[in-house]
Amino acid sequence: MPKDTQTLNILVPNKTGQTHCSTCSLSSLCLPIALEKADLDALDNVIKRGRPIQKGELLFKQGDPFKAVYAIRTGAIKTFTVASSGEEQITGFHLASELVGLSGYSEDTYPLSAKALETTTVCELPLEQLESLCDEMPGLRKQIMRNMGGEIRQDQQMMLQLSKKSADERMAYFLLDLGSRFERRGFSSKAFRLSMSRVDISNYLGLAVETVSRIFTRFQKNELIKTEGKEITLLNLDELKQLAGQPNEPVVCDKHPA
């Protein structure tokens, strides 16, 4: 598969036509990291792999009983909360190998909703079986804690961006953030597809839609980026990093769970 192809088809069927964690090319980014073969087999026995979730379809809804954690196999998902006024606030965008639903551990219900941004497939890990496996597999428990830590770290980084950065700085950080996450999956950090709409981006970054459109236009005029539909190419990483306030360090974004 070409490096610049952003379709993350991470599971390869085995000879029986089934998909397994052991054949997943991104297993080191998901729960199976450092698990022995016997542990992988046990994990496979409890994972549920259902039909694809279509664009706009909910994986779970805010207030639903917390019953499972989900690992994204292909596609992308956004998570969001809905206020009593009905206003939606996007809390994150999640890519293949990342986990959604872990925030339900703090309560008996999901504190947010998860919706597919495009056709998406997930691995469902039922809570009861997952907790039993964690008791038996220290490596699995450690990976879940690592994912939770990644969520906290990313939330802190984004809070800093929203509270102290200008609109241009927020956008630069957001694009570098996505590029870094694609790179960790073996794809280009410079050329990728934006599965989310500009309305969603504006909501997530706390900006007006018109502001987001103006920034894209300005970035293109200044030859920082090039866009064609939903495809985007980052043309000047150094200047984007300067703008994002991190010229001497790589973008660190490990947004796993939600």
pTM: 0.80
Residue extents of the structural domains in the chain: 21-154, 166-244
Spatial CA neighbour of 143 closest among 102, 114, 91, 193? 102
Question: Among residues of the chain, what percentage have pLDDT more than 70?
Answer: 81
21-154: which CATH architecture?
Sandwich (2.60)
Distance CA 29, CA 129 (A): 21
Q: Write out pLDDT tens, residues 54-104.
A: 999 999 999 999 999 998 989 999 999 998 898 999 999 999 888 899 888
Return the structure tokens found at 234: 């980052």
Q: What CATH class does 166-244 carry? A: mainly alpha
Q: How confident is the model at residue 257 (pLDDT cuts 50, 70, 90)?
A: very low
Q: Do domains 21-154 and 166-244 have the same CATH topology?
A: no
Radius of gyration (C-alpha) of the chain in whole angstroms: 18
Edge-first strand order for the sheet with 99-100 is 99-100, 68-74, 121-126
Provide the β-strand partners of residue 89.
81
First to last CA, the chain: 29
Q: Write out pLDDT tens, residues 203-219.
A: 999 999 999 999 999 99
